[in-house]
């Protein structure tokens, strides 16, 4: 962990290492020389304004967006190899899902087990157990046979977190899992994330819930195209640090300075997303 964003820590055996990552969408620089290293068994919160680059960082780790500079390694291997070996699970901010598709919750969570199954994708007892266990952890067992379109927004979020849990990947990337969920679900998901870390998983989680950061995370990174601070939640939440990222102290909501919403020019259409 470092607050010195110019340092180049040894990425050795880290669960996740980004080294000098720059991502551009046309003329928009979404990430600018981002270096971030996560050790195993840690929960790291990713915090920053809308447009600060959080989702872009996740997409870069997944190999969905290609950086113009820098390198990502997941447990020492590159993103494509990590995806092939199912060693990283990703819950995007919004799912590109056909909600009318006739698939039930249990089957959605089972798709997280594909990496463990043969080409015929025939579930084995261990796969059924993993799915049942994951549904239980997010308290969605009672909805297992419900069509995915017949769920509320918060319930859908929980199902996709369950799919990531069922995958059993050592690294989990959760892009705003608390968006649109109620407080009891947020507490339940926080407990799930903490217990995943206790079991040795590493979790990078984007969140706007600064009040819940200390309960959720061992460490946090404050992003504003660059990593401004990477330290304990307490350090990250210091008013002077929040003011650097948000222009206000969001916890007290007192204006500190009139910062622009984004330093970037309007988004260009030539995104370099790799499909
Ligand atoms: N496909 C794209 N094409 C062009 N610009 C993009 C694209 N995706 C993101 N951007 C731009 O990149 C910057 C970072 O966006 P990103 O989605 O990573 O932010 P974020 O921190 O996840 O924001 P939020 O909190 O709103 O989810 C923004 O300026 C955004 O407008
Ligand atoms: Mg986002």
Could you say which ligand is closest to the alpha carbon of residue 261? 1
Question: Tens digit of pLDDT per residue, the chain (275 long)?
Answer: 444 444 444 555 799 999 999 999 999 999 999 999 999 999 999 999 999 999 999 999 999 999 999 999 999 999 999 998 889 999 999 877 778 888 999 999 999 998 888 777 888 999 999 999 999 999 999 999 999 999 998 899 999 999 999 999 999 999 999 998 889 889 989 999 999 999 999 999 999 999 999 999 999 999 999 999 999 999 999 999 999 998 866 666 554 444 443 433 333 323 344 43
The number of helix segments (H) and strand segments (E) in the chain equals 9, 11
Q: Check residue 8 and give its pLDDT.
A: 44
CA of 120 to the centre of ligand 2 (A): 35
Query: Are 172 and 17 contacting, i.e. CB atoms less than 8 angstroms apart?
Result: no
For ligand 1, atom 10, which residue shows the shortest CA distance?
267
Residue 46 Cα to ligand 1 midpoint, Å, equals 14
pLDDT at 12: 57
In this structure, which long-range contacts are made by residues 258-266, counting pairs with CB atoms below 8 Å and at least 24 apart in sequence? 261/49, 261/50, 261/51, 262/49, 262/50, 262/51, 263/225, 264/28, 264/29, 264/30, 264/51, 264/225, 265/27, 265/28, 266/28
Q: How remote is the C-alpha of 235 from its chain's centroid?
A: 21
The predicted structure's pLDDT at residue 252: 64
- Would you state the pLDDT for residue 127? 95
Cα(142) to ligand 1 centroid in Å equals: 36
Beta bridge partners of 43: 203
Strand order in the sheet with 28-38: 28-38, 16-25, 69-74
- Report the alpha-carbon distance of residue 24 to residue 12 in Å, rounded: 27
Domain boundaries, the chain: 13-87+170-264, 99-168
The reported pLDDT for the residue numbered 249 is 60
> From the centroid of its chain, how far is CA 253?
26
Residue 262 to residue 86: CA distance in whole angstroms: 35
Q: What is the pLDDT of residue 50?
A: 95
- Counting from 1 in the atom list of ligand 1, the atom nearest the Cα of 53 is 18
Close Cβ partners of 262 (under 8 Å, ≥ 6 residues apart) = 49, 50, 51
Residue to mutate, 51, 52, 180, ligand 1, most ligand atoms under 8 Å from C-beta: 51
Per-residue pLDDT at 168: 94
Q: Which residues sit with their C-beta closer than 6 Å to ligand 1?
A: 25, 28, 30, 48, 50-56, 93, 262, 264, 267-268, 271, 273
| Helix, strand or coil, per DSSP, at residue 214 | helix
Pocket test of ligand 1: the residue of 24, 28, 47, 68 to mutate, having most ligand atoms within 8 Å of its CB, is 28
Nearest atom, ligand 1, residue 268 CA: 4
Q: Can you tell me which atom of ligand 1 is nearest the CA of 58? A: 18
Residue nearest to atom 12 of ligand 1 (CA): 30
Rounded to the nearest angstrom, the distance between the alpha carbon of 228 and the centre of ligand 2 is 17
State the CB neighbour count (10 A cutoff) for residue 132: 16
Q: Which pLDDT score, from 0 to 100, does residue 203 have?
A: 98
Q: Which CATH architecture has domain 13-87+170-264?
A: 3-Layer(aba) Sandwich (3.40)
Beta bridge partners of 22: 69
CA 18 to centroid of ligand 1, rounded, Å: 18
Structure tokens at 121: 């994708």
Rounded to the nearest angstrom, the distance between the alpha carbon of 88 and the centre of ligand 2 is 18
Q: Is 263 left (phi over 0), alpha (psi -120 to 50) or beta?
A: alpha
């Amino acid at each position: 962990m470092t607050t010195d964003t110019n340092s180049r820590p040894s990425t050795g055996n880290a669960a996740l290492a980004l080294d000098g990552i720059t991502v551009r969408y046309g003329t928009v620089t979404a990430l600018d020389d981002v270096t971030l290293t996560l050790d195993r068994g840690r929960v790291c919160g990713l915090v920053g304004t809308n447009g600060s680059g959080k989702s872009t960082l996740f997409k870069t780790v997944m190999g969905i967006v290609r950086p113009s500079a820098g390198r990502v390694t997941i447990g020492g291997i590159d993103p494509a190899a990590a995806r092939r070996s199912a060693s990283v699970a990703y819950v995007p901010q919004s799912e590109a899902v056909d909600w009318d598709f006739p698939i039930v919750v249990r089957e959605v969570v089972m798709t997280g087990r594909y990496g463990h199954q043969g080409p015929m994708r025939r579930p084995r007892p261990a796969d059924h157990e993993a799915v049942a266990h994951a549904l239980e952890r997010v308290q969605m067992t009672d909805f297992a046979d419900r069509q995915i379109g017949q769920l509320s927004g918060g319930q859908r979020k929980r199902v996709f977190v369950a799919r990531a849990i069922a995958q059993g990947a050592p690294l989990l990337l959760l892009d705003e899992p608390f968006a649109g969920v109620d407080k009891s679900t947020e507490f339940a998901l926080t407990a799930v994330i903490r217990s995943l870390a206790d079991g040795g998983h590493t979790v990078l989680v984007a969140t706007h819930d600064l009040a819940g950061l200390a309960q959720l995370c061992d460490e946090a990174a404050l992003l504003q195209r660059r990593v401004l601070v990477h330290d304990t939640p307490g350090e990250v939440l210091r008013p002077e640090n929040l003011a650097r990222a948000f222009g206000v102290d969001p916890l007290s909501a007192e204006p500190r300075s009139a910062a622009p919403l984004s330093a970037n020019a309007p988004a260009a259409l030539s995104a370099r997303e790799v499909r």
